Structure 1
Amino acid sequence: MTEPVDARVAVYIDFDNIVISRYDQVNGRGHFHRDKVRSFAPEGDRRPKADRSEEATKVEQATVDISAVLDYASSFGSIVISRAYADWSVPVNSSYRRQLMDRAVDLVQLFPAVASMKNGADIRLSIDVVEDLFRLDDLTHVVIVAGDSDYIPLAQRAKRLGRYVVGIGVAGSTSKHLAAACDEFADYDALLTMEEEEPRVIEAAVVAAAEEVVEAAAAKTPDKTAEKASARKRGPKRTDAATPDESPAAEPEPESASSVEPPTSRRAQQAAQQAASNLLVRALRLGHAKDDQEWLGSSNVKNQMLRMDPSFQESALGYKSFTDFVQSRGNLVELQEDGQVRRLRLRPSSPFVA
């Protein structure tokens, strides 16, 4: 099935499967159950890293980056369904709830019915997928985030119903037969290469870009504070109707909120500009990696940014157009204009280029 222009994506995550697979990948096969970490809540350990237990360190090192998964899924089209299946009463799972809810993922609660703690996510997930496919004719893509071979019949049925099936799994815990049953399969580690380098260079590149934007905006704003101080020194203007003795007492004019920008406002502006730069870079990295193209269409990049963060608005950041927004990030992004056609790419010298 060829990918349609107006694609609608449904994402289904066997969350226990991914968390366990990632932990075993980092710490050794079978260690998730051997280390008994289901009851450990990473966010509950507030001690410095040097003082944390070996258990806490292992769980932290095996943290799953949900944003990397959802960003990749959004590259196929608009995500209209996203569900994660797990026992959310388990502390190691519940620590992800805020991250998932921030990305508008529905949390499906599955209580284990047997002593082995197996929650039957594969059956519930498969039933939901088939029901959605028959109920919603406009679904074009099905993204299955799991590596279990139990999902092979589901992938085959979704393909038979004319949907483009994408699988995402953790290396070492993914059935090769499941990968073969999908139209496309992505390794979780490959998705991380699009995300994990950013924190190491964000202070040097994205923050610098944000500060330049805020400084440029401040330079365009007239210094009203100096003007008001000068006016107070000159005193009130005299009118013909009043004599020196009858002149009313000069009342100091209150300074407006925009006259002196509070530090918190400046920090908020820098944070907003930094987040926007980060979003732009993530969208470009994803586009370069997925399409293997040097230059990406400007409108395609903006659409990808909106799929990743629907709240993005260049006008709210002080720009008249998306092109103006991109041009302000010249140290990160290169813009190519050919008449009405505009293309973007990460600068070859940018630390974000893999």
Structure 2
Amino acid sequence: MENKQFTEERDLFCAIYLDYENLAISAEQSYPALEGPLSLGPIIDYAASLGDICIRKAYADWSTGECAADVKKLVKYGFEMRHLPQTSARGKNGADMDMALDVLEDMILLPHIGLFIIGSGDTDFIPLIRRLRARGKMVYVMGFDSSVGSVIKENCTKYQSLDELLCLSPNAAGSDPVSDDDSAIIEEDRIAARDLVIRFVRTRTDEGPVFLSDLKNQLIRINPSFSEKKLGFSSFKKFIGSLEGDVVLGIITDRRTGHPLVTFRDLDEIDPVKVDANNCLATCLNSRLRFIGDRAVRTRIFELILLLFQDRRPRSIHEMAAAIYPKIDQSVSKATLNRVLFGLGGEGRVFRYYRKDPMVPPIDSPQVLNESVRTVADIEMVYLASAREAVKRIFPDMDDADVERVVR
């Protein structure tokens, strides 16, 4: 039996708004070794499966970089492209403000729209999301896991990972095999998912069996970012089946409808298992963020960067990586080095674009060292600040002093 909420969603009109520049930058940072990781086809298919798409809008400065190169792709999928040129010395545009105004205007003028899909990880959209939900609208947020913090995930109706939707994984960013850290992440996520099911059992008012489809939607209401795919299960039924004999007593068939029902053990029979926050942070740093904890290794990379730019000749991320990789500790993978170098670029950081060609991906665009960067200490400061920002996005409740204690 299909859940009522999801049946209604298919009958709804939906609108999709993409902070395209934000998504394109996040895609390049998450998968620097891939060409064009941000694919629109699966995004549109996903939105169409939820309802009739009546609005498609994308926001960016369409005159530069990867956004200019994707114009034809957006035209193909019927997007209205809102041009937002850079309005500050730091290279920021007004996408968040324009998107928020458009969404609120569409909500008022087109009251039949019941589902708003926002493609961005920017926490500036949290007030907008809350306003939409207060009006009885469903709000789905989609973004790349490394750039969307838990605060925005918990405030929406549902969070959809683009890493999952576009069939991307950390291993797709390079040629690394599955590491122990990757396995540790999956194990930590499974423990957290088990705890989510226990939270449902603890708070439910009816102690009887629950339809399998209803259970998934209840879990999403508690944690909008829940997804069995991230845990390595091809279906929700297989995930629940993995908990049989533990939290779940069994999966039975409803005699009246023929659909699966889930029965649960009593709370006092369930062994509590807690996720170790320190372990979660460690695996996040090591695998998801590919943080280099060995200061000597970092120093070597930063020294090579300075040597590389002594001649002041512009170089792309690919060129930098090719020159630096043979000279560093081979415990650092090519994918990790690419992530480090790409993370040092951007507004107020170590590199800046020498000349942006709209038809050239950012990873292949020539860059030069910022004038303010003169020493290894300058690069180290930028690198640590960037890592701490990423950790705070994922663990927003973590104390700043604890983040600095770990990321150093």
Q: When the two structures are superposed, what TM-score results if normalisation uses the length of structure 1?
A: 0.45
Greater gyration radius:
1
Q: When the two structures are superposed, what TM-score results if normalisation uses the length of structure 2?
A: 0.39
